[in-house]
Chain A
Amino acid sequence: MTEASLYLLQQLINGLTIGSTYALIAIGYTMVYGIIGMINFAHGEIYMIGSYISFIVIAGLLGMGMVALPVILLIALIVAVLIASTYGWTIERVAYRPLRGSNRLIPLISAIGMSIFLQNYVVLAQGARDIALPPQISGGWNFGDPQLFEVSLSYMQLIIWAATFVCMTALTLFISRSRIGRACRACAEDRGMTNLLGIDTDRTIAMTFIIGAALAAVAGLLLGLYYGVVNPFVGFIAGLKAFTAAVLGGIGSIPGAMLGGLILGVTEALTSAYFPSEYKDVVSFGLLVLILLFRPSGLLGKPEVEKV
C-alpha cells in the first residue's frame, strides 16, 4: 500500500469512530422527532451529563482503590445510563409534555431553555473548566509500513465500534420486533389512532426520550474516555453534529441516523486530514445546509407510502 492510501485508511478509522458516537446521539433526535415532531435541543446536554457522570463514577471508583477496569467501566456505564435516562424522562415530563398540542414553536423554545438551563446547572455544580481523566484504555494495533505510514487502530476505537454496534443492533431489534417498539412506530405514524387502541401514548413518548438519553449516555462515556476530557459545553457542539447527522440521514429514520452519523464522522475526518482542521465544522454544517436545500427528507428519509 502506498503512503497516501495508508493515511486515508487511518482517517477512515478515526472518522468511523467519531461517526459512531454521532450516530448514537443522533438516535435521540430522530426518535423524538419521529414521534412528536419536535427537535429536542436539550439532547446534547444529556450526552454531556452522561459524560460527566461517567467521569465522576470512574474517578470515584479508582479513588476507592478499585482496579478491575472492566468492572469500573460497567458500573460507570450503568450509572450514566440510569441517571441520563432519568434526566431525559424528566425533561420530557416538565418541559415538553405540558406544552403538547400547542404551537410547534413553543416546545422548541422550551427545549432551548432547557438546554441553557442544564448547561449552566453543570457549570455551577462542576465548574466551567475542563475535567480530565487519565487514559484508561491504552494500546492497540499498529500496521502498515513503518517506513511510510503506520496506521493505528486503538483498543478504545474498537470498543467504540463494538459498543455502537451492540447498541444499534439491540435498538433495531427492539423497535422492529417488540410490542413496545411496534407501539413506538404506530405512535410515530398516528398518535391519535394509537391512543384510540387504548395505548397511553404519553408513556410511549416518554419511552423514546428514555431510549434516546440512554444511547446519548453511552456516547458520553465512550467519547469521554476517547478524548479524556469533558466540560459543560461539549454537549452543545456534539448535539449540533448529531443533529446534522440525523438530518443528513433523514430525520425520523433510525437507519438514517446511523448512516448519517457515520458519513458525517468520515467527512469530518477526511476534511481535517487534507485541509486545515478548522474547516471541519464548516464542512459539516455546509453539508447540513446542502441537505436542507436539496434533499430535506435526507438520505433515508421516509418515503411516502402510497395511500390508495
Chain B
Amino acid sequence: MLQIEKVNTHYGPIQALHDVTVEVKKGEIVTLIGANGAGKTTLMMTICGDPKASSGRIVFDGEDITGLPTSQIMRKGLAIVPEGRRVFARLTVQENLHMGAYFRTKAEYEESLSHVLELFPRLRERFSQRAGTMSGGEQQMLAIGRAMMSKPRMILLDEPSLGLAPIIIQQIFEIIEQLRSEGVTIFLVEQNANQALKIADRGYVLENGRVVMTGSGESLLTDENVRKAYLGG
C-alpha cells in the first residue's frame, strides 16, 4: 500500500531522515516508535509532501507520489491525524468534519458523518460547538473523525494518545482497531510503544532519523534493546 524507499529529508541544512525505508501493506497496522526528536513526525509529514523528500521514493497504492504537492497527495485516499491534533479551533465540530469531506458529495458526506458520530457519540453532543472549547480527548476524537470523513484507504496517526487520560487512550486504541477491521490501513506513530506494539502487525524503530530495527509487533515487544529503550525496561 505504502512503500518508502531510501528517503532523505532535510530542514534547510539539517538532515532529519537518513535513507529511511518502510513498507506498510494493505490492511496492516504498522507502528513507528522512537524517542523524541527521532524524526517520526518528519517521516509522517514527508509522506504528505510537507516537507518534501530530498531524495528517495514514496509510492502509495502503486503510484509514485514523491514530489507531488501536498494537496494532491492528500486527495489520493490518504488522511492524516497530525501531531498536536490541529483541529480548527474556531470552526464548529460540524464544520471541522465537513472540512474533512471537502471533495465528497453531500450523500457521501452524510454517510461518513453518521458513521463518525456513531463511533464518537461525544462529537454528536458537541456538534455545534467550537472545536477549541472541547477537551483534549474530544479534540483528538474530532481529529480522527475528520480524517475518516474523506473515507481514506490509509490513515497516518501521529501520537494520537499524547497527553490524554488513560481511559481516553484506551478508547483511541479501540477506534484504531475498529478502523483496521473496516479495512483501513494504519500507520501509527507512538512514543510510548507498549500499546502500539500490542495492536501492531509490524513495527519500525527510528533513531536519529534512521531505521535501526524492524520486526513483528510481538518480536519488538520482547526484544531486549527495545524494552530497555522504549518500554521502561
**Separation of A147 and B50 alpha carbons in the complex (Å):** 72
On whether the beta carbons of A308 and B103 are closer than 8 Å, the reply is no
Cβ of B88 and Cβ of A185 under 8 Å apart? yes
Residues from chain B with a CB closer than 8 A to the CB of A307 are 89, 132
B91 within 8 A of A: yes
A305's partner among B70, B74, B79, B133 (CB-CB below 8 A) is B133
Cα–Cα, bound, A305→B129 (Å): 12
- 26 CB contacts below 8 A, A to B, read A185-B90, A185-B91, A186-B88, A186-B95, A190-B86, A193-B88, A195-B70, A195-B71, A195-B74, A196-B48, A196-B70, A196-B74, A196-B82, A197-B74, A197-B79, A197-B146, A197-B150, A198-B71, A198-B102, A198-B150, A199-B71, A200-B69, A200-B71, A305-B130, A306-B133, A308-B134
Is the beta-carbon distance between B102 and A179 smaller than 8 angstroms? yes
- The closest CB in chain A to the CB of B131 belongs to A305
CA distance A186 to B150 in the complex (A): 16
| Any B CB within 8 A of the CB of A54 | no
**Interface of A toward B, CB cutoff 8 Å:** 179, 182-183, 185-186, 189-190, 192-201, 302, 305-308
Q: Are A189 and B91 in contact (CB under 8 A)?
A: yes
| B135 contacts chain A at the CB level, 8 A cutoff | yes
Complex Cα–Cα for A183 and B86 (A): 15
B68-110 interface mask toward A, CB cutoff 8 Å, 1 = contact, 0 = none?
0111101100011010001011110001001110110000000
A189 and B90 in contact, given A198-B74, A305-B133, A308-B134 (Cβ under 8 angstroms): yes
List of A residues within 8 angstroms of B90 by Cβ? 185, 189, 302, 305
Name the residue of chain B whose CB is nearest to the CB of A200.
B71
Q: Which residues of B contact A194 (CB under 8 A)?
A: 99
Q: B66 within 8 Å of A by Cβ?
A: no
Report whether B132 and A306 are in contact in the complex, using a CB–CB cutoff of 8 Å: yes
CA distance A1 to B150 in the complex (A): 63
The answer to the question of B136 belonging to the interface, with a C-beta cut-off of 8 Å to chain A, is: yes
- Taking the nearest CB of chain B, how far is it from the CB of A36, in angstroms? 16
The distance from the CB of A91 to the nearest CB of chain B, in whole angstroms, is 22
B86 contacts across to A, CB distance below 8 A: 190, 192-193, 196
What chain B residues lie within 8 Å of A305 (beta carbons)? 89-90, 130, 132-133
- B139 CB-CB contact with A under 8 Å: yes
Query: Which residues on B sit within 8 Å (CB–CB) of A200?
Result: 69, 71
Question: Which A residues touch B103, using CB under 8 A?
Answer: 198
Q: Are B48 and A308 in contact (CB under 8 A)?
A: no
CB of A214, distance to nearest CB on chain B (Å): 24
When distances are taken between beta carbons in the complex, the residues of chain B under 8 Å from A186 are 88, 91, 95, 99
Q: How far is the CA of A189 from the CA of B82 in the complex (A)?
A: 15
Contacts of B71 in A (CB 8 A): 195, 198-201
> Besides A182-B98, A198-B71, 16 other CB < 8 A contacts?
A182-B95, A182-B99, A185-B91, A186-B91, A186-B99, A190-B86, A196-B50, A196-B70, A196-B74, A196-B86, A197-B146, A199-B71, A201-B71, A302-B90, A305-B133, A307-B89
Would A195 and B50 be within 8 Å (CB), given that A186-B88, A189-B90, A308-B135 are in contact?
yes
CA distance A201 to B74 in the complex (A): 13
Q: Which residue of chain B is the closest to A176 with respect to CB atoms?
A: B95
The 7 A-B residue pairs with the shortest CB-CB distance in the complex, in nearest-first order: A305-B132, A198-B74, A198-B75, A305-B89, A193-B86, A200-B71, A195-B70
Find out whether the CB atom of B89 lies under 8 angstroms from the CB atom of A189.
Answer: yes
Whole-angstrom CA separation of A197 from B96 in the bound complex: 11
